[in-house]
Structure 1
Amino acid sequence: MPNTVIQPYLFFGGRCEEALDFYRTALGAQVEIFLRHKDSPESPPPGMLQPDFENKIMHTTFRIGGSTLMASDGCQEGSKFSGFSLSLTVPTEAEVDRVFAALADDGEVQMPLTKTFWSSRFGMLTDRFSISWMINVAAESS
C-alpha cells in the first residue's frame, strides 16, 4: 500500500465551527477547506439533515503543524469520541506547557504533565469537545 495515508475525520455534532476556532487559538490550526451543507452542489437526501443544519459544516480540512485532519458537524447534534487519542508531539517543554494548558481549558486532565522514560514532559487530557489528547515533548536526538 505505497503512498497510503490515514487521516483522522472528526464529527463534532453541531460544534465543528466552534472546535475549529478553538484549535486555531490553542494549536495554530490552519483551515484549508471549509464547506457548509448549504454550499453543497447536491442536496442531501430528504430527512438526512437535522432541521437547521444547513449552516453547519459539511466538510473541513485543517492542518496542525505537519498533520492534516478532517472534520464535519455530521448530520445531527451530539458526538461521541471514544477508543482513540490524538497524539501531539511538540519541540520544547515551554510549548508542551502552553499547548497542554490551552487544550485543558474547559476540558479534563487525565494525567498532568510529568517526566516519563520516553519524554521530559508527557500528559493526557480530554478537551472541551471530548477529543482525547496525549501530548509530549519530542525526544532529544542523540
Structure 2
Amino acid sequence: MQIQPYLFFHGRCEEAMGYYRKALDARVSMLMRYRESPDPMPPDAIPPGWEDKIMHAELAIGDAVLMLSDGCAETDPGFRGFSLSLAVPDAETADRMFAALLDGGEELMPLGETFFSPRFGMVSDRYGVSWMINLPAKDDHSN
C-alpha cells in the first residue's frame, strides 16, 4: 500500500507544474486535459472555459510521483494541514531547492542545521504548498 499526494491548484496547475519542473527538477510523466477525457464531462462539472485545464497530471520528482490537477472548482478551499517532505542527497541540492521554492513564497523555518539533520528548512511556496527540505543525517538508515 502507498499513500500518494494529490494537489489541486484551482486553475493554476500548468503554471505550478512549470514551477516545480524548474525548482525541483521534476519531470511530467502524465498529463490529461479535461477536453481529452475519454468519457464526456457531466454537465456543470467544470467551470466554462476550463476545457484546456488539467484534469490529471503526474510529476516525477526523484523516485516519487506527485499527482496534480486544476480540480473542478474555481475557489481555494484553504486546507493547510499538510507539508510535503523532500529528502535531498546533499547540501547543495537543499540550498538550491529551498531557494527556488522560496521565490514568491514564504519562509516558515530557515534552512539550517538541526539535531536531526545537517540541513533542514520549511517553506510555503507561491501556491501555498508547504515543503520541508531535509538532508538526512549520515547515520539515518530510515530511508
Query: Which TM-score bucket, shorter chain as reference?
Result: over 0.9
1:51 is matched with 48
1:16-68 per-residue CA deviation (whole Å, 9 max, x = no partner) reads: 00010000000011111100000111111111111111110000011101101
After the TM superposition, list the runs of 4 or more consecutive aligned residues in structure 1 that deviate by more than 3 angstroms: none
Which segment drifts farther, 95-104 or 74-83? 74-83
Give the unaligned 5+ runs of structure 1.
Answer: none
- Indicate which of 123, 130, 133 corresponds to 1:132: 130
Supply the AA of the counterpart residue of 2:22: T
Q: Following TM superposition, by how much is the alpha carbon of 1:129 offset from its aligned partner in structure 2, in angstroms?
A: 0.8
1:97 is matched with 95
1:67-120 per-residue CA deviation (whole Å, 9 max, x = no partner) reads: 011110011223334100000110111110000000000000011111100001
Question: C-alpha distance in 2, partners of 1:93/1:6?
Answer: 27
Give the unaligned 5+ runs of structure 2.
Answer: none
Supply the AA of the counterpart residue of 1:99: M
Question: C-alpha distance in 2, partners of 1:138/1:22?
Answer: 25
Counterparts of residues 1-142 of structure 1 (less than 5 Å): 4-79=1-76, 80-141=78-139
SS at structure 2 position matched to 1:141: coil
Please tell me whether the aligned partners of residues 81 and 130 of structure 1 are also in contact (alpha carbons under 8 angstroms). Answer: no
Question: C-alpha distance in 2, partners of 1:44/1:11?
Answer: 18
Question: C-alpha distance in 1, partners of 2:75/2:60?
Answer: 24
- What is the number of residues matched between the two proteins? 139
When the two structures are superposed, what TM-score results if normalisation uses the length of structure 2? 0.93
SS at structure 2 position matched to 1:53: coil
Query: Identity rate of aligned residues, in percent?
Result: 54
Cα-Cα RMSD: 1.1
When the two structures are superposed, what TM-score results if normalisation uses the length of structure 1? 0.94
